[in-house]
Chain A
């Protein structure tokens, strides 16, 4: 512990005071500025998380913490007049869909492009940058921004809230089924940027939407940091399909908090993929807040090289008759490392809960390492809560079967890994993204 403090030369307190002074000059409602100030105070008190915190024991952000003074939380984006000014990699992913969907593109610390397809505008759906939403739709945000991600969750959460930069806002009114998908992009240029976007998604009663959030960048030598936050509010009987695809370059540190509050009878289909970045830490919480709420969570991680992924999930059953079903699949090669830390909590009185949690890990090399820590905390008795975790290598019998039919070893292994991920990939809502993910897996397998 003492050595950790000694090598982390940075005094987060002084740094955040200085950065916040600049962030606090933004043109925002006073309550939003007050939030920043409060969070900066919390960051000063908390400092960087220490290794004695259960969620920080297994991943080491010290290299990042020493590099903090070199990070720029205000990095502007190059001027963007139209799509052609965007990086080619991003355009390729957008795949000519731009005119027909809801779209928000963030580059570095600011949103450079926002568009609501005419169909969506007609329905009263709002898709815009958080900045615009603060100015024009403050009434939707005041009770929601920061309501689910407590700034004192840990030091990084506080820094993110104090230096909030960019992010999107999606609002689907009661009874409306958003006519087209909504896509949110995050791009980081080169090294040195610190982006802290906060996204708020609100679905009214019986509303429906499909939203895909993608994070990507080129690879570079050095360090960049993404401090993300997403807060999702689902009204009664609403239904949301939400996918996140994280594909940062190898220089990006990723820390994010995702929270969904799911109302009575509402349902979320949540797909999470973690592929890129150098060190990745994500905390995804699902609050089943009203009777009959449902959460279906599917995730996959594929690490290679020296990537380190830490995924923490919490299925919080706060009401009766709720269902949550979670499956996280992880595959690791080279010297990659993954930590899955999951918990099902059933509150007192949350009877008739049906909760499931599974973590399956496939290790492709003897230098990879996987930790799996699924947990249950159950305070009601009329429940069915189950979890399972497995860690193993490619089944030699499966490999033998395929090779006996003439497939080379690498091809056979690729098929097995694809098959391993297939149940998760099949749930991703957009065909283009499914194809893309299959390619990424191929590329990663080499």
Chain B
């Protein structure tokens, strides 16, 4: 069977649906490039305490010193001096959609955010370029002490709590892009869920890049206190520009004993965005951390969400799905670090490459000394839909204990002729059959998504598979 000669772009419809852009919207835009002056300027404009300003400047030095990664996708085309590091869209963060400037509100309307907020979310944050322009949480949660703010507001309103955790999970020395984020971070979400509080419906943040040559560096910090639960969902899109944008976020999560946190990402950046993100969670006794990571968009994505299991009984789970179409390189994956006895983890990765795209899994399972009776399983499956495309799997396993059970399995294949034949012989045309098989392939992960996202994901795949079977 040949699935060559695809007539449709992998992400057909993106330009119309998400690729539009508003005329430039900002009350302040830093000049291009990055230096001490720009970093100081960002801090001053935000009216930050001195320690944060110092932290940023220190991080800038680290960023300048650290070399670019020598492995992974080619990042040599990023021109750090051609980027706007800070674009402030409005002067104030709105508490109601009415207060959001009309153009921006129209953007978020088109993306369906206000509607989603009413229907099935506990709270919404919407970030436009560098700043969060809208933030709202349901009253009953606020009363229970749940904090859901932009990171900037959290620093102002809960400085002590913020300072206690900020940068403790991902220090600015962690990697070059974490250092960059630490220097110029702006926006992102801050969540604190008090002991025993279960946030029954998801909190969501939506990230939008509008300005050309813009860098978005949001920072997210989530603290789930003992026995609490939260599900946080983030989505991202950007206009389709001919020049490249940079998105480099840092996400730190602390899951305290007995708590559970799920973090779902649907990354749908336009094909001109470099998406270089550091995400890490620590899980304490009997806590559970789950990353559900969907990567559909961007030019290059490098993202390996990780879970450090610090105390006995902690559990980490990473479900990763990656689509790479024309001109895309998805270097996705995940890391689980077993630091204590009786910890368990599971990674499931599904990747699909098509139209010359390159999708991959890069992951690490590490069992530290003393983490006896740890168990980990990793399953990576890849589908390659045509002969121009590429799939990579690079799993790392570092095991320093003997009483453990670690397993890894990976398969790369095409759509099975027999499966196709079976469906066709039952009167389903080849295109539909292929789409069904692909849907089945990613089903184990899609079923973990909130309903509306699952529907959207399946719709996207239908769209992508149309006309692709020759």
Q: Which residues of A contact B (CB under 8 A)?
A: 52, 54, 348-349, 351, 361, 363-366, 368-393
Contact = CB atoms under 8 A, between A and B. Distances in A.
Contact of A391 (B3, B369, B391, B399): B399
A369 B400 CA distance: 5
Interface string B405-428: 111111111100000000000000
B140 to A, nearest CB: 47
B61 to A, nearest CB: 18
B393 A373 contact: no
B399 A369 contact: yes
A378 B412 contact: yes
B412 A385 contact: yes
B71 A370 contact: no
Most buried by B among A378, A383, A385: A378
Nearest to A351: B387
Nearest to B416: A384
B402 A365 contact: yes
Q: Is the contact region of chain A dominated by helix, strand, or loop, or is it mixed? A: strand
A386 B411 contact: yes
Nearest to B379: A388
B401 interface: yes
Nearest to B409: A388
Contact of B406 (A364, A382, A391): A391
Given A369-B399, A371-B396, A376-B393, A381 B405 contact: no
A358 to B, nearest CB: 9
Contacts of B413: 383-385
8 contacts: A368-B402, A372-B397, A378-B390, A381-B386, A381-B387, A383-B414, A391-B397, A393-B404
A52 B70 contact: yes
Contact of B395 (A363, A364, A365, A373): A373
A390 B400 CA distance: 14
A380 B404 CA distance: 36
Interface residues of B, number: 37
A389 B391 contact: no
Interface of B: 3, 70-71, 369, 372, 382, 384-414
A5 B74 CA distance: 28
Nearest to A345: B392
B390 A379 contact: yes
A230 B155 CA distance: 63
A339 to B, nearest CB: 9
A382 B415 CA distance: 9
Given A375-B392, A384-B413, 16 more contacts: A54-B71, A366-B401, A366-B403, A370-B397, A372-B399, A375-B393, A376-B392, A376-B394, A387-B409, A388-B410, A390-B406, A390-B408, A391-B405, A392-B405, A392-B406, A393-B402
Contacts of B401: 363, 366
A391 B367 CA distance: 11
A388 B412 CA distance: 12
Contacts of A368: 402
Nearest to A394: B402
Nearest to B377: A390
Contact of A378 (B382, B386, B395, B409): B382
Contacts of B402: 363-366, 368, 393
Nearest to A349: B387
Nearest to A372: B397
A52 B396 CA distance: 16
Contacts of B372: 366
A389 B387 contact: no
A315 to B, nearest CB: 13
**6 cross-chain pairs, A with B, having the tightest CB-CB distances, nearest first:** A363-B402, A376-B393, A381-B384, A372-B397, A391-B406, A385-B412
Given A52-B70, A385-B411, A389-B407, A375 B395 contact: yes
Given A375-B393, A376-B393, A381-B384, A363 B411 contact: no
A366 B341 CA distance: 13
Contact of A363 (B70, B71, B399): B399
Most buried by B among A364, A370, A381: A381
B407 A390 contact: yes
Given A366-B401, A371-B397, A393-B402, A388 B408 contact: yes
Nearest to A346: B412
A364 B412 CA distance: 32
Given A54-B71, A366-B402, A388-B407, A383 B392 contact: no
Contact of B408 (A379, A381, A383, A389): A389
Contacts of A389: 395, 397, 406-408
A349 B71 CA distance: 25
